[in-house]
Chain A
Amino acid sequence: MIVALGVVISRELKKTFRQKSRLLASLVRPLIWLFVIGGGIGSIVPSDSNSNYQQAIVPGILGMTLLFGSMLSALTTVYDKESGVMRMFIISPMSSYGIILSKLASSTIAGIVQVIGLLIILFSLRIVDVGQIHITLFIFGLICTALTCSTIGLITAVLSKSLENFAAIMNFVIFPVFFLSGALYPIDNLPPALHWVAVANPFSYGVDLIKHSITSVSVTPDFGKVPDIIVLFVFTVIGVTFSSWRFSQESTSAALVSILSKGRKS
């Protein structure tokens, strides 16, 4: 199991680093948000030298990097199903629980690697000051958020059959999860309907936990630290249990098995 976990993680990292354009996009995307959206919206939001909009969305942008990194990586489970790599998993002595956990670990690490890349840029541009960070809580928050994003990705992966609905996943999962969280604005100011969606969105709590770890004035958390951690933990456990259960169902494996024989039932 440990060896298996190791090879799954190393495969994920190899793939992350080999796809240079994906890696580059994972760094450029948050920077565009930070400078273009942060600058644009920031210009119409009243600010002073201590508190500005760009600073306020740093936790949200870090969360976004994890959301895209971890979640897209967990979603490669769908690609693995199609390309045939999942065959290696289902004919190995690993349990469905083991397969899902190794995917969870590898996509969490892939997300963390990408966020480290972004942090190096943010620190060197002095957008984030190390002095304003509770390091332990910060790292813990990033890991919890990455786990949550991977879990969202895994749930999506076990529920979707093919990559054809990838655009749908983008529109109906990634964007709502990102926009309907506290990533870009405090959720208290949202209209009631959207407010409740944001409260039900586990990603909100990940971003919130990162907010708690940054002490600059402009960043105001929406919830408490402890509720954040409880929600993220409970969501991950339930999500992983559900994904493993779903993955072990014959309906899921039968679909995989039929790909093994060119979709023929013979």
Chain B
Amino acid sequence: MISARNLTKRYAQNVAVDNLSLEVESGQFFGLLGPNGSGKTTTIHMLSTLLKPSEGSILINGIDVSQNPREVRRQIGLVFQESALDRTLSVEENLLFCAGLHGLKKRQVKERINALLELFNLENKKSAPVASLSGGMRRSVDIIRGVLHQPKILFLDEPTVGLDIQSRRRIWRFIQRLIQDQSLTVILTTHYLEEATPCDITSFIKAGHIVSSGTPDSLIKEFAQTVVEVECDNPDMLLKRIDIPQSQIITDDSSSILIRVLDDKKPDLEKIQTTLSEGAMSFKVRKPNLNDVFLWLTNRREGQGT
């Protein structure tokens, strides 16, 4: 469905995306994850015809993006970090306007608009001005806008950024139903790693290239069987007291230490707990999640092994 080869995007001073390749199959839910400035959004913009790559090629559904961007735009839907709606017009006016830009007449999309509004619980907001909607509702309308023309591929660039947790969960329930109903191929970028858990494939991107790729489960398994999370004020000082190889320790900020527990290299948990009892605020043994993998992959310094 999507095949990107050796993508590079250079700006005047820096390289935003560096020789990146990726494949997404039809019907897949694909997550592109990485810290700010890692090149996620630039990659999405290149895949969706909005930016021209400096080097490399992209095929979307067999169409070369640089040769025929308009045909590609017909087949994809985009939901951006920022809303793309006219706040002074009503929900329905916005959707009809957008459908019109795609060449769809009112009577062709009227039913579809109603069905989608119903799916997102917005059927009674049809004639409300967009400016009067809450942030979550506006996002929902943006998502409806993105799928109105029945695209085969939907790009979601941080679709829930800036929303409270309830709205985020609601929107995700809707998105999941949408993916099922419309059998969409979805490319997602997000900061909230738990949102990427239902992805079929997640790829972690750092400094413009993909550092790791696979199903969320396999990435988590590869990372560790268990994680020990130690909450403390001064991780650097505590770290000096325990004897664990650097490769098994992750410090994401100044308030906690994560210790990867692998089956073959089991550290002595009891010993660690005793050594750290002074200075640690909490000591938790738990299953690893995608967030841990993210911290591990993105904070890892060069030369540190897996």
- The interface residues of chain A lying within 8 Å CB-to-CB of B41 are 261, 264-266
B88 is an interface residue with CB less than 8 A from chain A: yes
A134 is an interface residue with CB less than 8 A from chain B: no
- Least Cβ distance of A88 to chain B in Å? 5
- The interface residues of chain B lying within 8 Å CB-to-CB of A11 are 86, 89, 93, 97
CA distance A80 to B71 in the complex (A): 24
Sample (13) of A-B pairs whose CB atoms are under 8 Å apart: A1-B103, A4-B102, A87-B80, A88-B97, A91-B73, A93-B70, A93-B74, A93-B101, A261-B81, A262-B82, A264-B37, A266-B39, A266-B40
- The interface residues of chain B lying within 8 Å CB-to-CB of A250 are 51-52
Contact with A along B38-56 (1 / 0, CB 8 A): 1111100100101110000
CA distance A253 to B51 in the complex (A): 8
- The interface residues of chain A lying within 8 Å CB-to-CB of B38 are 266
- The interface residues of chain B lying within 8 Å CB-to-CB of A90 are 50
Of A89, A260, A261, A266, the residue contacting B101 (CB under 8 A) is: A89
A167 is an interface residue with CB less than 8 A from chain B: no
Question: Is there an interface contact between B98 and A259, defined as CB atoms closer than 8 Å?
Answer: no
Question: Is there an interface contact between A261 and B83, defined as CB atoms closer than 8 Å?
Answer: no
Interface size of B as a range: 35 or more
CA distance A128 to B78 in the complex (A): 52
CA distance A7 to B103 in the complex (A): 9
- The interface residues of chain B lying within 8 Å CB-to-CB of A95 are 70
Known: A11-B89, A261-B157. 9 other contacts (CB 8 A): A3-B104, A11-B97, A83-B87, A88-B101, A92-B102, A93-B70, A254-B51, A261-B80, A265-B42
Of B36, B86, B98, B100, the residue contacting A83 (CB under 8 A) is: B86
- Least Cβ distance of B69 to chain A in Å? 9
B122 is an interface residue with CB less than 8 A from chain A: no
CA distance A184 to B45 in the complex (A): 50
- The interface residues of chain A lying within 8 Å CB-to-CB of B143 are none
- B108 closest partner in A (C-beta): A3
- The interface residues of chain A lying within 8 Å CB-to-CB of B100 are 3-4, 6-8
CA distance A138 to B26 in the complex (A): 59
Please report the number of residue pairs spanning A and B whose Cβ atoms sit closer than 8 angstroms: 105
- A86 closest partner in B (C-beta): B84
- Least Cβ distance of B105 to chain A in Å? 6
Of B16, B52, B71, B157, the residue contacting A265 (CB under 8 A) is: B16
Question: Is there an interface contact between A85 and B84, defined as CB atoms closer than 8 Å?
Answer: yes
CA distance A97 to B104 in the complex (A): 19
Which of B48, B74, B80, B96 has most A Cβ within 10 Å? B80
Question: Is there an interface contact between A257 and B88, defined as CB atoms closer than 8 Å?
Answer: no
- The interface residues of chain A lying within 8 Å CB-to-CB of B73 are 91-93
Question: Is there an interface contact between A94 and B50, defined as CB atoms closer than 8 Å?
Answer: no
Q: Which DSSP category, helix, strand, loop or mixed, fits chain A's interface?
A: helix
- B129 closest partner in A (C-beta): A18
- B96 closest partner in A (C-beta): A7
**Chain A residues in the interface with B (C-beta under 8 A):** 1, 3-4, 6-8, 11, 14-15, 18, 83-85, 87-95, 250, 253-254, 257, 259-262, 264-266
Contact with A along B255-270 (1 / 0, CB 8 A): 0000000000000000
- Least Cβ distance of A24 to chain B in Å? 17
With A92-B101, A93-B73 as contacts: A266 and B36 at CB distance below 8 Å: yes
- Least Cβ distance of A249 to chain B in Å? 11
Question: When A and B form their complex, which 7 residue pairs have the shortest distance between CB atoms, in order from nearest?
Answer: A7-B100, A87-B84, A92-B101, A260-B80, A93-B74, A93-B70, A93-B73
- Least Cβ distance of A82 to chain B in Å? 11
- The interface residues of chain B lying within 8 Å CB-to-CB of A260 are 45, 50, 80-82, 84, 157
B139 is an interface residue with CB less than 8 A from chain A: no
B152 is an interface residue with CB less than 8 A from chain A: no
B144 is an interface residue with CB less than 8 A from chain A: no
CA distance A87 to B50 in the complex (A): 10
- Least Cβ distance of B162 to chain A in Å? 9
With A92-B98, A93-B73, A265-B37 as contacts: A85 and B103 at CB distance below 8 Å: no
- B80 closest partner in A (C-beta): A260
- Least Cβ distance of A142 to chain B in Å? 27
- Least Cβ distance of B271 to chain A in Å? 42
- The interface residues of chain B lying within 8 Å CB-to-CB of A7 are 96-97, 99-101
Of A15, A87, A93, the residue contacting B102 (CB under 8 A) is: A93
Of B82, B98, B99, the residue contacting A84 (CB under 8 A) is: B82
- B162 closest partner in A (C-beta): A262
B228 is an interface residue with CB less than 8 A from chain A: no
- The interface residues of chain B lying within 8 Å CB-to-CB of A261 are 41, 45, 80-82, 157
